[in-house]
Chain A
Amino acid sequence: MTGAVVTAWSAISACGVGRAALRAGQARPTRVDGGPGDEAFLAADFVVDEALGTKGTGSMDRSSALGIGVVGDVLAGLAVDERTGVVLGTTSGSAQTQLEFTRDSLTRRKPYFVNPATMPFALMNSAAAQAAIWHKLTGPNSTIAGGRLSGLGVLRYGTRLLAAGRASGVVCGAVEEYSAARAWLEEHRGRRGSLLGEGAAAVFVEPAGSPRPVLAEVLGIETRVAVDGDPEAALASGVRRVLERAAIEAGDVTTVALSAPGGLLGEAERAVADAAFSGLTAVVDPAEAVGDVGAAIGMFQVVAVLDRPGFALVTALDDDGTVGCGLLRVPDVS
C-alpha cells in the first residue's frame, strides 16, 4: 500500500487535448516527413502558440510544451501550495532538440554559433522544470528517465515523495514528442510497436484523505530487471508479488492495461496477462488509440483504467530489460 490516491488526470495525444478527447478516442494518423515511416499519431490539436501563447515559447520544443500543457490541465481547478511537486518521465528528453543543437554546432562556421536559449531545452529535465516555471510549482521537481517503465517509475517516485512527507501532492506524468530524430533512433533500436505517437499524460497523486473524490488508489508497484534475459518470468514474478502484497487474488483483477511494446516483449506481456488472469479480465491497449508514445505509454495506461471500477493492473516492459507492474483500485462511484 502506498497510501496515495489519484484525484485528477489529463492527457494530450492524437485524440486531442484533455480528458473528453481521450475518452472519445478519435484519432487519425498524420502524414509526417523525414522519418522512417510516413505516418504518426501527432497531437495535432496541441498548437504551442495557441495553448501557451508566444511569450517564452520562441525557442521551446514540443516536449517541454507538452509537459507544460498536460501539467496545467491536470492542475486546473486544484489548489496548489508551495510543496506541490512535479515528476515527469522521459526516454532521453527531446531527441530533436539535441540533434539540432549538435547539427548547428557541427555545420556553422564556428562550433559555438548555436542558440544558447535552446540549450536548457536539450536537457532531460526541461519539461518538468518548464512546467514548474510556467505554473509556479516550487515543490519537488524531478525527471525520471525510465523509457517504457517511466509511468511506473514516476508513480513510485511520486508516491515515495508523499510517503516521506516531501510534497503535499505530486503531478506524476510522462511526455514523449514525435520527431524525425526520435523516429530514426527508435527504428535503429529495432522498435516493434504500433505506429509512433506523440503524447503526454499525467495524474495528480496525493495522500489518502484528500477532500477530492478518489479516482484510484495506488496499491502497489513492483519492478524487476530481467538479468537472465527472461522478461516474461520476471514480469510474472512481479505480478505475483504485487497481488500478494495487496492480498488480492488474480481473479479479482478486472482490468489489465498493456504497454504493448510489440515484438517478443509484447508477446511476453500478453502471455503473462493470459496466464495470470481469467477471461473475465478486460484487457486494454491504449496504444491502439494514441500510438506508441514511448515513455508516456505508462501514464496513458494509468489514465485508461480510471473509468473502469475494480482492481486494475498496469504492466510495462522495456527492451533495456526492465519490467514492472502497478496495481490500482478504482472505486465504483455509480
Chain B
Amino acid sequence: MRRVVVTGIGVVSSIGTGAGEFAEALWEGRSGAGPIEAFDTTGFAHANGCEVRGFEPERWLRRVPVSEAGRATQFAIAAARMAVADAGIAESALRERPGVVSIGTTDGGSDDGERLAQTVVRESFEAMDPAAARRVPASRLAVGVARELGLTDVDVSTVATACAAGNYAIGNGFDAVRLGEAEYALSGGADALCRMTFTGFYRLGAVDPERCRPFDKDRRGILTGEGAAVLLLEPLEAARERGARSYAEVLGYGLNCDAHHQVAPDGDSVRRCMELALADAGVAPDEVDLISAHGTGTKANDATECGAIRQVFGEQPPRTVSVKSMLGHTMGAASALGAAACALGIAGSFVPPTINHGETDPECGIDCVPNTAVEAELNVVQNNALAFGGNNAVVVLGRPR
C-alpha cells in the first residue's frame, strides 16, 4: 500500500483565509466570534457565531457561475483552489489522472433550503426560487469543486456524516490514494452558517451566549461557525518526484459508530475509534504528541471525549487542544479545519492554543494549552471528530519522513 502525504492546504475560515493566514491566526489564538449576521436572529436571547466575513466568491469561482453555487459550495471551491495552488501543481496535471474529490458537510445546501422554507411560509410552494432549489442537493459541494477545476475523471462524493464529515472525507481520499484507486485526492469539509443548526443547538441548550470555551469548568456550549478546509493528498512517491513540499503524512484513520444514541456521545465507542485509528496508523499511544480534540465546548462532549482520551492515553495524556475555541463549530468543515491545523502545526512546529480558557474542568483533566500557542516538535498528531448519530472518525497525521 502506498504512503500518502498532504501537499496542499486550502482554508476559508472566520480567522483567516489560506494556509499562511490560517497558521498565523492559530499561532496568535485569534477568535472568529461575533454577532451572527447570516440570518435573522430576532427572538433568540443570544446569537454569537463564527462567521466568515468579507468572502468574495468571484475571486475563486471562475468556471462555476456564482449563482449556481450555494455558500458552502463556494467555500469548498475556494478552499480546493487554494489547496491546489498551495501544492504548486498545475490544474492540467490533475486533469490527466484519476482523482477523488471528497467533501464532508453537515448542512450542504440547507442555507438555501431554509430560505426556500421561508418562501413557503410567507408565500407558497409555487413561489420557490428555482435557482435556489437547484443549489440545495448536497452533492453540489464536491461536484462544484470538480467542475471548477475541470476535473472529469474523478470519483466525487459529498460525505454527509454531520459534524465528523471532514475526517470521513479525508479518510475516503486517503484510502483511494493508498489503495492505488486514485492518484490524488482533494479532501476536506465545508459548511455555511445555517439557521436550522443554530436553532437546534440553541434548543438543546448547547450554545454558549458569548464565547466557546472548551474544557473550561464554566463552558456552556458551542458557537456555530462556518468555513471550509481542503487538503490535497498525493502518494508520497509522486510528491517526492515533483519535489513537492509535504506538510504531513496521513498515517491512518479509524471510524466507527456508537450505535447508541442520536445526540449523546458514547465514551467507550469514542475510545474504540481512537484505538482503531492508532492501530491503522501503526502508532502506539505514547508516540502521540498532540490531540486536536472534537472539543465542542458542551458539557457532555468535552467530559466524555476527555474521559475516552484518558482511557487510551492514561492519566497523563498528550496535550489536547480544541481549535473550535477560535473557529466555533464549523460542522462538516470542523475536522477538516482541525486536520489542516494539525498539518500546519507539524510543519510549523507549534501547538495551537485553546483560547477563552479560564480554569480547566477537573472532569476533563487535560492540558489544553490555554490561550497561548507553544512551540513544539510534533511527530504524531491525532485529529478527533464525533458527530450526532454516533459517527466517529479519527485521523492520524505524522511528520513527513
A and B in direct contact, judged by CB atoms within 8 A: yes
B196 near A140 with CB under 8 A, answer no
> How many pairs of residues, A versus B, come closer than 8 Å at their CB atoms?
238
B200 near A101 with CB under 8 A, answer yes
For residue B294, CB closer than 8 A to chain A, the reply is no
Chain B nearest CB from A52 CB (Å) reads 15
Interface residues on A, range: 35 or more
- How long is the Cα–Cα vector from A224 to B155 in the complex, in angstroms? 7
B109 near A92 with CB under 8 A, answer yes
A125 near B108 with CB under 8 A, answer no
For residue B74, CB closer than 8 A to chain A, the reply is no
User: Given A86, A144, A185, which contacts B159 in the complex, CB threshold below 8 Å?
Assistant: A144
| Residues 114-155 of A contacting B (Cβ, < 8 Å) | 114, 116, 119-120, 122-126, 128-130, 132-133, 135-147, 149, 153
Q: Give the dominant DSSP class at A's interface.
A: mixed
| Residues 70-97 of A contacting B (Cβ, < 8 Å) | 85-86, 90-93, 95
* A-chain residues with CB within 8 Å of residue B195 when the two chains form the complex: 102, 105
Per-residue B-contact encoding for A139-178, CB less than 8 Å = 1, 0 else: 1111111110100010011001101101000000000000
User: Given B137, B150, B200, B390, which contacts A147 in the complex, CB threshold below 8 Å?
Assistant: B137
Chain A nearest CB from B121 CB (Å) reads 5
For residue A110, CB closer than 8 A to chain B, the reply is yes
* A-chain residues with CB within 8 Å of residue B390 when the two chains form the complex: 129, 132-133, 141
For residue A309, CB closer than 8 A to chain B, the reply is no
For residue A193, CB closer than 8 A to chain B, the reply is no
B133 near A223 with CB under 8 A, answer no
| Residues 127-148 of B contacting A (Cβ, < 8 Å) | 128-130, 133-134, 136-140, 143, 146-147
For residue A23, CB closer than 8 A to chain B, the reply is no
For residue A189, CB closer than 8 A to chain B, the reply is yes
Per-residue A-contact encoding for B88-129, CB less than 8 Å = 1, 0 else: 000000000000000001101110011011101100010011
User: Given A111, A126, A146, A149, which contacts B42 in the complex, CB threshold below 8 Å?
Assistant: A111
- How long is the Cα–Cα vector from A239 to B393 in the complex, in angstroms? 34
* A-chain residues with CB within 8 Å of residue B190 when the two chains form the complex: none
* A-chain residues with CB within 8 Å of residue B42 when the two chains form the complex: 111
Chain B nearest CB from A296 CB (Å) reads 14
For residue A246, CB closer than 8 A to chain B, the reply is no
- Chain B residue with the shortest CB-CB distance to A144: B157
* B-chain residues with CB within 8 Å of residue A140 when the two chains form the complex: 255-257
B160 near A144 with CB under 8 A, answer yes
A133 near B146 with CB under 8 A, answer no
- How long is the Cα–Cα vector from A234 to B138 in the complex, in angstroms? 22
B114 near A160 with CB under 8 A, answer no
For residue B324, CB closer than 8 A to chain A, the reply is no
- How long is the Cα–Cα vector from A141 to B162 in the complex, in angstroms? 11
A160 near B138 with CB under 8 A, answer no
Q: Of B174-182, B209-217, B221-229, B306-314, which binds chain A?
A: B174-182
B128 near A138 with CB under 8 A, answer no
A92 near B388 with CB under 8 A, answer no
Chain B nearest CB from A75 CB (Å) reads 13
* B-chain residues with CB within 8 Å of residue A36 when the two chains form the complex: 125
- How long is the Cα–Cα vector from A311 to B181 in the complex, in angstroms? 22
- How long is the Cα–Cα vector from A143 to B321 in the complex, in angstroms? 28
- Are A164 and B130 also in contact (CB < 8 A) when A111-B199, A137-B259 are? no
Q: Of B261-269, B344-352, B366-374, which binds chain A?
A: B261-269
A188 near B133 with CB under 8 A, answer yes
For residue A190, CB closer than 8 A to chain B, the reply is yes
- How long is the Cα–Cα vector from A114 to B198 in the complex, in angstroms? 12
User: Given A86, A91, A226, A227, which contacts B138 in the complex, CB threshold below 8 Å?
Assistant: A91
For residue A272, CB closer than 8 A to chain B, the reply is no
For residue A277, CB closer than 8 A to chain B, the reply is no
* A-chain residues with CB within 8 Å of residue B152 when the two chains form the complex: 224-228, 234
A125 near B388 with CB under 8 A, answer yes
Chain A nearest CB from B159 CB (Å) reads 6
- Are A138 and B259 also in contact (CB < 8 A) when A111-B199, A119-B200, A225-B156 are? yes
For residue B7, CB closer than 8 A to chain A, the reply is no
User: Given B128, B155, B181, B199, which contacts A185 in the complex, CB threshold below 8 Å?
Assistant: B128
- Chain A residue with the shortest CB-CB distance to B258: A138
- Are A190 and B130 also in contact (CB < 8 A) when A98-B196, A164-B178, A321-B147 are? yes
- How long is the Cα–Cα vector from A188 to B130 in the complex, in angstroms? 5
For residue A320, CB closer than 8 A to chain B, the reply is yes
For residue B6, CB closer than 8 A to chain A, the reply is no
B146 near A146 with CB under 8 A, answer no
* B-chain residues with CB within 8 Å of residue A105 when the two chains form the complex: 195-196, 199
- How long is the Cα–Cα vector from A90 to B172 in the complex, in angstroms? 18
Chain A nearest CB from B308 CB (Å) reads 15
User: Given A111, A124, A137, A185, which contacts B160 in the complex, CB threshold below 8 Å?
Assistant: A124
For residue B387, CB closer than 8 A to chain A, the reply is yes
| Residues 262-285 of B contacting A (Cβ, < 8 Å) | 262-263, 269, 272
A112 near B202 with CB under 8 A, answer yes
A130 near B262 with CB under 8 A, answer yes
B156 near A114 with CB under 8 A, answer no
* A-chain residues with CB within 8 Å of residue B146 when the two chains form the complex: 225, 227
- Are A138 and B257 also in contact (CB < 8 A) when A106-B121, A234-B152 are? yes
For residue A51, CB closer than 8 A to chain B, the reply is no
User: Given A92, A149, A322, which contacts B113 in the complex, CB threshold below 8 Å?
Assistant: A92
- How long is the Cα–Cα vector from A160 to B147 in the complex, in angstroms? 24
A116 near B389 with CB under 8 A, answer no
A92 near B181 with CB under 8 A, answer no
| Residues 289-334 of A contacting B (Cβ, < 8 Å) | 318-322
For residue B161, CB closer than 8 A to chain A, the reply is yes
20 CB-based A-B contacts, threshold 8 Å: A105-B199, A110-B43, A114-B203, A119-B203, A125-B389, A132-B389, A135-B259, A140-B255, A140-B257, A142-B255, A144-B157, A145-B108, A149-B139, A164-B175, A184-B120, A224-B153, A234-B152, A320-B137, A321-B143, A322-B139
The 9 tightest CB contacts between A and B, nearest first, are A129-B389, A145-B138, A119-B200, A141-B257, A124-B160, A188-B133, A102-B117, A120-B262, A225-B146
User: CB within 8 Å of A: which residues of B?
Assistant: 41-44, 63, 105-106, 108-110, 113-114, 116-118, 120-121, 125, 128-130, 133-134, 136-140, 143, 146-147, 150-162, 168, 172, 175-176, 178-179, 181, 195-196, 199-200, 202-204, 255-263, 269, 272, 387-391
User: CB within 8 Å of B: which residues of A?
Assistant: 34, 36, 85-86, 90-93, 95, 98-99, 101-103, 105-107, 110-112, 114, 116, 119-120, 122-126, 128-130, 132-133, 135-147, 149, 153, 156-157, 160-161, 163-164, 166, 180-181, 184-185, 188-190, 223-228, 234, 318-322
Other than the given A188-B128, A225-B156, 9 more pairs (CB < 8 A) read A102-B121, A111-B44, A124-B162, A133-B390, A138-B257, A139-B256, A141-B390, A147-B137, A189-B134
